[in-house]
Amino acid sequence: MACGYRVAVTVGGDAEYGGLQPRQLIVSLYGLYARQRDGWLSIASVVRLMADLGVDGQAVRSSISRLKRRGLLVPTKVDGAAGYTLSPVAEEILADGDVRIFGRRRASVADGWLLVVFSVPESERDKRHQLRSALTRLGFGTVAPGVWVAPAHLEAEANEVLARLGVAEYAEVFQGRHVAPGDPRGNVARWWDLESLRQLYDTFLQRYQPVQQRWSGDANDPAKAFADYVQMLTEWRQLPYADPGLPLELLPADWNGAEAEALFGALRERLACPAAEHALRHL
């Protein structure tokens, strides 16, 4: 990745700033700039950088407290300065997300499909709900109750989720081709909510195409690059989970996902380094 900074995790539940929640932005800061510093950032530096994103100090401290309660941040002092370190759980989430966001594959029909079939007993219905939620977050589509499908390259992520939730004994995982007659495009449209995906991509394009135009020349404003980059990355990161890399040949001809991916890549290339320059100046 440009400049070596990465971030990926989804959080929510705060008041929004420009459509984004303070907790989401704070996680972006940690994912982008803390992992090169043993996972630690001082409270003062987080407050200062969040101010550049339009978030006031009180909202920052409240959001950090929530992240602490969720086990993602651990209070730590370094050289007498108060701050927070990423927990092992947060480090793992960020590392997993790096692969999904920055290494996402766009599948082809020839790659085949991954099928997860499960039947969790009623006595463990909480685990059943957790598994459904986890597969949804991974971007699986639903074929039928207890039958979920995704591009084959999600095999490792799916097996990791089954093991982590302790439900591997209730599930079977298959890889293969779809061989039924008919147009597979219709199946994809039934298994995934393509209209919602299209709207997410469209929102991203409408919001960040003007940003790309602003940066198309020789502009050099690290503070502005920082604000644009952190907000753009925070907003983008939900999309590689909602769309797990569905084959383009099975999507509508005017599918806007490829255009949005190209825009994300271009803005990341343009903004990551000046954004890091600004951030590290305050760390």
Q: What is the CATH number of the domain that holds 85?
A: 1.10.10.10
- Maximum average pLDDT range among 179-183, 216-220, 270-274: 270-274
pLDDT at 250 over 90: yes
User: Model pTM?
Assistant: 0.86
Per the structure, the count of domains in the chain is: 3
Does 254 reside within a domain? yes
Mean pLDDT of 198-223: 93
Identify which of 90, 80, 81 has the alpha carbon closest to the alpha carbon of residue 34: 90
pLDDT > 70 in the chain, percent: 93
Same domain, 219 and 158: no
Question: Hey, CA dihedral for 33, 95, 197, 248, is it positive or negative?
Answer: positive
Does 107 reside within a domain? no
Q: How confident is the model at residue 142 (pLDDT cuts 50, 70, 90)?
A: very high
Does 219 reside within a domain? yes
pLDDT at 26 over 90: yes
Joined tokens for residue 76: 């730590």
Same domain, 171 and 118: yes
Same domain, 91 and 6: yes
Does 186 reside within a domain? no
Mean pLDDT of 48-54: 96
pLDDT at 16 over 50: no
Mean pLDDT of 47-68: 96
Same domain, 7 and 91: yes
Does 104 reside within a domain? no
Mean pLDDT of 254-269: 95
Mean pLDDT of 180-191: 87
Same domain, 164 and 213: no
Mean pLDDT of 111-126: 92
State the pLDDT at residue 18. Answer: 52
Same domain, 79 and 129: no
Does 154 reside within a domain? yes
Rg (CA), the chain: 20
Does 185 reside within a domain? no
Identify which of 206, 272, 268, 230 has the alpha carbon closest to the alpha carbon of residue 53: 230
State the pLDDT at residue 236. Answer: 94
**CATH number of domain containing 147:** 3.30.70
Beta-sheet strand order (sheet of 141-144): 141-144, 147-151, 113-118, 171-176
Residue 123: count of CB within 10 angstroms of its CB: 7
Mean pLDDT of 11-36: 77
Same domain, 204 and 125: no
Non-local CB neighbours of 38 within 8 Å, separated by 6+ positions: 85
Joined tokens for residue 229: 């980059």
Does 188 reside within a domain? no
Range of the domain at 26: 2-95
pLDDT at 31 over 90: yes
Same domain, 82 and 31: yes
pLDDT at 111 over 80: yes
Same domain, 8 and 74: yes
Same domain, 81 and 135: no
Region of residue 247 (left: phi > 0; alpha: psi -120 to 50; beta: else) = beta
pLDDT at 12 over 60: no
State the pLDDT at residue 30. Answer: 96
State the pLDDT at residue 29. Answer: 95
Which one of 60, 95, 130 terminates a domain?
95
Residue with tokens 């995790």: 9
Higher pLDDT, 96 or 84: 84
Lowest mean pLDDT: which of 34-48, 95-109, 198-212?
Answer: 95-109
pLDDT at 270 over 70: yes
Joined tokens for residue 116: 């997860």
Same domain, 152 and 89: no
Identify which of 237, 230, 242 has the alpha carbon closest to the alpha carbon of residue 96: 237
d(CA 67, CA 255): 36
Q: Where does the chain show beta strands of DSSP type E? A: 40-42, 73-78, 81-86, 113-118, 141-144, 147-151, 171-176
CA atoms within 13 A on the CB side of 272: 18
What's the mean per-residue pLDDT of the chain? 90
